[in-house]
Structure 1
């Protein structure tokens, strides 16, 4: 074994305890979801339940309406992804053109909006969405979620489209294609890695969102998402900790599985946009 390999193995051995500490809360959450309330409160930090039960999952899925919240979250997340992909890809394509007037100013304004907290814009956002007649609904919440989430996707699409040879667009125009057809038939299919990255980023963000879904579903609790539905386990005097753990598993595990399967697409999209 050479010296470099030895040093790498030593670092791995040192990082293993850190990894165990890092993942312990997640493993404990999964373990608590299978415990009875009594065992969870007196069992300390043990991970293996003495009497595993699925009652917590049944209570979360049916009594706490997490079956409905899961369907709402899927609908909401997909709507956010579609809106972000549509707007960010077209904006990125326009900003990638070298002759666009005021391009530097527009990009500067986009970057500046990244530093504005959501709490500062929620009132005008709510008034705007409510004025469109979409208040107290998932579509209105998706519009409010997608708007502030556009900055990074626009920059990713802009960086990717900027690196595509101009000859491809010129060839499309020689064949009679206009800007819209060139974007849809030529440029967008080439941007599949970036589309995958943007879709995954915003799907995870929408799935875990709390503040915006809370504001836009206050008048219609049946439209709550998983993040908002978690608060149903907090009572005035007590908290259903095992039910909360089961609900957290229902909320977290699907998105973790999705990310594990699509992480390669995520990395390729980021690398492609940066390289371009």
Structure 2
């Protein structure tokens, strides 16, 4: 005769935490769909309203900007504000300078951070933990604290007041966040890929550029977007490096062209800001899927 056992039933105290954990999702399911939609729509409008106001102000008269209050519809569409920003304020030159600086900086930063993250994540060398600790510690060092030695070195090298100096100054930072993203992603890849490549006679650079870097495309997209945003919106370093060369200004520094001694061209500034933000919005829309995949893949345990 075989004895049967019955599993003990959970007590009320044991079952209560499970119900509590599900209470939030249960409450959302019980709410009508139109209430959730209205709440989300209100959050979206509140989030994008400053951007919509800027676009609206770029098409208004300077007096109408502050006289119309929160109204987003201009009385008359003044497209000449964009002409004034692009031609008269020389934003076409500032756009070209920003594109050159951003493209070169993104390429150099992504390659350097990818190689650093690959070396730290895949190779067990002496002092690796010390290197990681030092990298993390540099996250707490503000950029302004290092501007003096950067300017001194650039002046001695003859790179001050040049786009090359701006690029090297922006590239020479730690960029620890990107290194840690690559580190977290590369350490999850099976070592059999490298071992089979070594058996076939592949070297370090062949393995990195032909095997590892293509596998890390989601992280590369994330690093590209983050570096693009920080470089495109950089103000302090480009201001210092182009202080005596207005023709080398970037978009963020060029905004000063609309600020005079007695007046400020708010409509022209809004048009210039809209032109400056369009490439950022387009790039984020294109890379948003890879951006999420890169972050999820880097932090996956």
Partner of 1:211: 236
Partner of 1:5: 29
Distance 1:15 1:185, change over 3 A: closer
Q: CA deviation at 1:57?
A: 0.3
Partner of 2:17: none
2:135 touches 2:174 (CA, 8 Å); kept in 1? Answer: no
What CA distance in whole angstroms lies between the structure 2 residues aligned with 1:38 and 1:193? 47
Report Cα offsets for 1:88-124 as digits up to 9, x if no partner. 0111111113421100000000000000001101111
Kindly indicate whether residue 254 of structure 2 is the aligned counterpart of residue 229 of structure 1.
Answer: yes
What CA distance in whole angstroms lies between the structure 1 residues aligned with 2:121 and 2:32? 42
What CA distance in whole angstroms lies between the structure 1 residues aligned with 2:178 and 2:93? 30
Partner of residue 136 from structure 2, selected from 91, 111, 129:
111
Partner of 1:168: 193
Q: CA deviation at 1:247?
A: 0.7
Gaps of 5+ in 1: none
Q: CA deviation at 1:219?
A: 2.3
Gaps of 5+ in 2: 1-25
Q: What does 1:26-37 align with in structure 2 at a 5 Å threshold?
A: 26-37=51-62
1:35 touches 1:52 (CA, 8 Å); kept in 2? Answer: yes
RMSD (Å), alpha carbons: 1.7
Kindly indicate whether residue 101 of structure 2 is the aligned counterpart of residue 76 of structure 1.
Answer: yes
What CA distance in whole angstroms lies between the structure 2 residues aligned with 1:4 and 1:41? 41
> Which SS does the other structure have where 2:175 is aligned?
helix
Q: CA deviation at 1:11?
A: 4.1
Partner of 1:53: 78
Partner of residue 148 from structure 1, selected from 173, 179, 195:
173
2:138 touches 2:174 (CA, 8 Å); kept in 1? Answer: no
Q: CA deviation at 1:149?
A: 5.0
Larger CA deviation: 126-135 vs 55-64: 126-135
1:197 touches 1:265 (CA, 8 Å); kept in 2? Answer: yes
> Which SS does the other structure have where 2:122 is aligned?
coil
Partner of 2:9: none
Partner of residue 63 from structure 1, selected from 88, 108, 122:
88
Larger CA deviation: 164-173 vs 127-136: 127-136
> Which SS does the other structure have where 2:74 is aligned?
coil
2:55 touches 2:274 (CA, 8 Å); kept in 1? Answer: yes
What CA distance in whole angstroms lies between the structure 1 residues aligned with 2:113 and 2:99? 21
Partner of 1:273: 298
What CA distance in whole angstroms lies between the structure 2 residues aligned with 1:222 and 1:109? 38
Report Cα offsets for 1:58-85 as digits up to 9, x if no partner. 0000000111111111111111101111
Structure showing greater radius of gyration is 2
Larger CA deviation: 56-65 vs 33-42: 33-42
Partner of residue 184 from structure 1, selected from 194, 200, 209:
209
1:84 touches 1:149 (CA, 8 Å); kept in 2? Answer: no
What CA distance in whole angstroms lies between the structure 1 residues aligned with 2:95 and 2:286? 20
Q: CA deviation at 1:181?
A: 1.9
What CA distance in whole angstroms lies between the structure 2 residues aligned with 1:120 and 1:225? 22
Count of equivalent residues: 275
